[in-house]
Structure 1
Amino acid sequence: MFLLALSPILWLAIALCVLHMQPHKACLLALLISAVVGIGLYDMTTIHAFQAFLEGVALACWPILLVIIAAIFTYNLSEHTKGMEGIKKMLTSVSNDRRVLILLIGWGFGGFMEGMAGFGTAIAIPASMLVGIGVNPILAASVCLVANSVPTAYGSIGIPLVTLGNVTGTDATTLATYTCLQLAPLTILCPFIMTLVAGGSLKALKGMTIICLGAALGFLIPELAVALTMGPELAVVAGSIGAMGAIIACAKMFPVNDPAYAMPAHEDDEEKLTVGKAITAWLPFILIFVFLLATSKLIPAIHDPLNLIKSSVLIYDGEGGAPYTFTWVATPGVLIFLAAFIGGSKQGAGFGEMLGVLKNTVYGLRFTILTIISVIATAKVMGYAGMTHEIAEAAVAATGTAYPCIAAFIGSIGTFITGSATSSCVLFGKLQTEAAQAIGATPAAQAWIAAANATGACAGKMISIQSIAIAVAAIKTAGADGKLLAFAAKVYVPFIIVMGLIVYFGQSVVG
């Protein structure tokens, strides 16, 4: 029965990694397999299977896909209005040292793009920017894969952790805080690793220690503060802004002038950016930050009334079912769309133009939309049928009280298979809490172990086939997949081992 319970996951692993099937087709078949097994072997009625599917569709569309479409639309609109060109110009004016620019663009701006849009933009955009200013393509892709590991759990305005909270019934703010704490050692190490990769040896750290430390702490401290007080939505956005500020400040106060890492000079006859133009370029992202902050729990006078505008519907009426709530206004996707339209109009785009960009964005994401709906519906069917519970019992039977050691590894496998931290949280989030309950973990420790799924998803993002494919496309270097995977695996293995130890020993602290 265990293998049958696991069959949709096994199918996804084979279909995506061996057969190289398109994700949306593989996930649709996984949904079919889960329904057949659930109805045929787990005594799930056809009606309940259909209701579980509908609840999965509802969760996928509102809020997950709403946020993803809104975030990607914001970026695409910034590209369309040339606002992104102004942002690129500002970032590359800080230093001519390759190591500093790699940290600023790969770590700082890459984290910002992950927090705002996610979905591969944090690899594709920084990598292409680095190549554009003269960084070796393989190097550019490598450092961006490393940089994208830590912020992945908070991608697209925190949607993986928000989803994990919905799936497990755990408070999203608690999950955001625990994930940040689990990732803290790696958040500190990442800028140093990126600098070592940039220079190819320990010599690359010469003169860069203060900048690396500033980049790390500038990221970690705001991220933890926001995660603790507001939840996952703005944690990485705040962290990346802090990192960019720290890198710029350190680069100005402690400039590095090593000729070995100097970038070639470029003639720049373009019009200089004024303060007004710079603000306009950043305006959609500034508005997103302001809107999300204004409607957060920190401002109850706005937050509380807006959160009353909601509808609750009982979709699944079987055992374990609960009304599903649609929050119509105080949800990140709606606020991101509002910010994008206001920002786009200030950048000179007409309403019809913006609708055209939105149409192209949705069309470009059509297969992704199908993939996410399918994988979330699969997880709902597996959960309500009892298949997830069976997998959790088998995992606990195999590892016993040592289960927390593999919790992050399981999360990483979910992202490796699907390419999405959100999908990993949907597939395995419930399994994590059920396994934690089976070993007698306290409620706090259960939340800690659930957070490990998001932490592991960060590691899995580095070796995800989809991430590597995005990186290869960004640097326009065909056949580089093998090199990048071999590099990412060297970082992934120690990452996941350290995560296992942190989760195992940390459970007693929080519990």
Structure 2
Amino acid sequence: MFFLALSPILWLVAALSIFHLPGHRACSLALAIAAAVGMAAFGMTAPHMLQAVLEGTALACWPILLVIIAAIFTYNLSLHTKGMDIIKKMLTSVSNDRRVLILLIGWGFGGFLEGMAGFGTAIAIPAGMLAGIGISPILSASVCLIANSVPTAYGSIGIPLVTLGNVTGIDATKLAAYTALQLAPLTLICPLLMTITAGGSLKALHGMFLLCIASAAAFLLPELAVAFFLGPELAVVAGSIGAMAAIVAFARLFPLNDPAYALPPHEDKAAVTLSQGLKAWLPFLLIFLFLLATSKLIPAIHDPLNLIKTSVLIYQGEGGSPYTFTWVATPGVLILLAAFIGGKVQGAGTGEMVQVLRRTIINLRFTILTIITVIATAKVMGYAGMTHEIAETAVAATGSAYPAVAAFIGSIGTFITGSATSSCVLFGKLQTDSAQAIGAGPSVQAWIAAANATGACAGKMVSPQSIAIGAAAIGAAGADGKLLHFAVKIYLPFVVIMGLIVYFGQWVIG
């Protein structure tokens, strides 16, 4: 029964890693396998199977796909209005030291893009920018793979952790806080690793050590504060803003003039005015303000908006509960509103913006199918009892040591799907079922569930999707092998450290 329960996941591993099928095809077939096995081997009825698929589709569309489409649309609209050109110009005016720019663009701005958009933008855009200002293309992609690791759990306005909360029934704010704690040591390490990679040796830390520590701390502290008190939506956004501020401040106060790391001088260009800068950043600033205004910090706005919702019982079998559609106070709606207002201020007409949105949806059509089918697969597996069967076997094999492998399982989910959100959907319930099987209390169950999101951050570095995005961003066809070889060397120690943190941390949390 264990291998039958595992069959959709085994198929995904083979389809994506060996047969190199596109995600939408692999996941569609995984759904078919899950449905067949659920009905033939686990006693699921056809109506219940269809209801599980429908509930998975609802979860995929609202809020997950809504957030992804809105976030990518915001970025595409910034490209259309040339606002992104202004942002790029502002970032690259800080220093001509490639180590500083790698941290500013890869770590700071990359984290901001991950928090706002996610979905590969935090690798593609910074890597392309770094290569465009004269940094080695392979190096540009490599440092962005490192930078994109720890923010992944909070990508696309926190959608992986929000989804994990929906799947497991655990409060998303608690999951966000635990994930931030688990990732804290690696968050402090990332800027150091990026700088060492930038220079090819430990010597690259000369003159950069304090800046690395400052940028890591300025990222981590706001992230922890927002995760603990507000939840996952703005944690990485706040952290990345803190990191960019710290990097710019250090670069201005303590300018570096090491010829070994200096980029070739560029032609002087007119300085960006305050008005230009504000217009360029306006969509992202509005997203931040809208999400903050509708957060739990401001109950006068948050509470009435969250009453605008509809609850529907989609899955009517055992374990089913009403699924709630929150119509206004949901990140996707707020992001779309911010994007349209920002685009209008930047001079785009309504018709232009609708066309950009239309192109965004068309370009994401295969991704939309992938996410719907992978979430529907997870719902079928969960309601059929397949996920529970896998969890029982995992616990039987590892016993009380299960928490040490929880993050590794999360990383496998992201390796398979390329998405922390999909990993949380695939394995979130497995994590809590496994935690219950070893007798963990509610807090430790949440801690182990959070480990799935933590592990997803490590898996993001070696995901074939991330590697392909990095190679495409630098225009280096065939560089996938080099990038994967590099990323694996970072992934392995990361996932070991994560396992130790989760295992020993359970005693503190418990």
Instruction: State the TM-score, normalizing by the size of structure 2.
Output: 1.00
Secondary structure of 1:257's counterpart equals coil
Q: Which residue of 2 aligns with 1:235?
A: 235
Distance 1:432 1:256 in 2: 47
Q: Is structure 2 residue 350 aligned with structure 1 residue 351? A: yes
Q: Which residue of 2 aligns with 1:458?
A: 457
Secondary structure of 2:325's counterpart equals strand
How do 1:263-412 and structure 2 match up within 5 A? 263-269=263-269, 271-412=270-411
Secondary structure of 1:15's counterpart equals helix
Secondary structure of 2:113's counterpart equals helix
Q: Which residue of 2 aligns with 1:502?
A: 501
How do 1:12-411 and structure 2 match up within 5 A? 12-269=12-269, 271-411=270-410
Q: Deviation per CA, 1:399-436: give whole Å up to 9, x if none.
A: 00000000000000000000000000000000000000
Q: Which letter maps to 1:19?
A: F
Give the ranges of 4+ consecutive aligned residues of structure 1 lying more than 3 Å apart after TM superposition.
none
Distance 1:461 1:202 in 2: 25
Distance 2:137 2:40 in 1: 51
Secondary structure of 1:241's counterpart equals helix
Q: Which letter maps to 1:225?
A: A
Distance 2:41 2:132 in 1: 55
Q: How many residues align?
A: 510
Q: Deviation per CA, 1:233-262: give whole Å up to 9, x if none.
A: 000000000000011111112221111000
Q: Deviation per CA, 1:140-160: give whole Å up to 9, x if none.
A: 000000000000000000000
Q: Deviation per CA, 1:92-125: give whole Å up to 9, x if none.
A: 0000100000000000000000000000000000
Q: Deviation per CA, 1:471-502: give whole Å up to 9, x if none.
A: 00000011111110010000000000000000
Q: Deviation per CA, 1:146-191: give whole Å up to 9, x if none.
A: 0000000000000000000000000000000000000000000000
Q: Deviation per CA, 1:44-80: give whole Å up to 9, x if none.
A: 0000000000000000000000000000000000000
Query: Runs of 5+ in structure 2 lacking a partner?
Result: none
Distance 1:202 1:330 in 2: 47
Question: Shift of the alpha carbon at 1:268?
Answer: 2.8
Q: Which letter maps to 1:460?
A: G
Secondary structure of 2:319's counterpart equals coil
Question: Shift of the alpha carbon at 1:272?
Answer: 2.6
Instruction: State the TM-score, normalizing by the size of structure 1.
Output: 0.99
Distance 2:8 2:479 in 1: 30
Distance 1:263 1:162 in 2: 41
Q: Which letter maps to 2:90?
A: M
Distance 1:384 1:478 in 2: 42
Q: Which residue of 1 aligns with 2:435?
A: 436
Secondary structure of 2:398's counterpart equals helix
Question: Shift of the alpha carbon at 1:204?
Answer: 0.3
Distance 2:271 2:402 in 1: 57
Q: Which letter maps to 2:468?
A: A
Query: Runs of 5+ in structure 1 lacking a partner?
Result: none
Distance 2:365 2:277 in 1: 33
Secondary structure of 1:410's counterpart equals helix
Distance 1:254 1:456 in 2: 36
Secondary structure of 1:477's counterpart equals coil
Distance 1:82 1:490 in 2: 37
Secondary structure of 1:311's counterpart equals strand
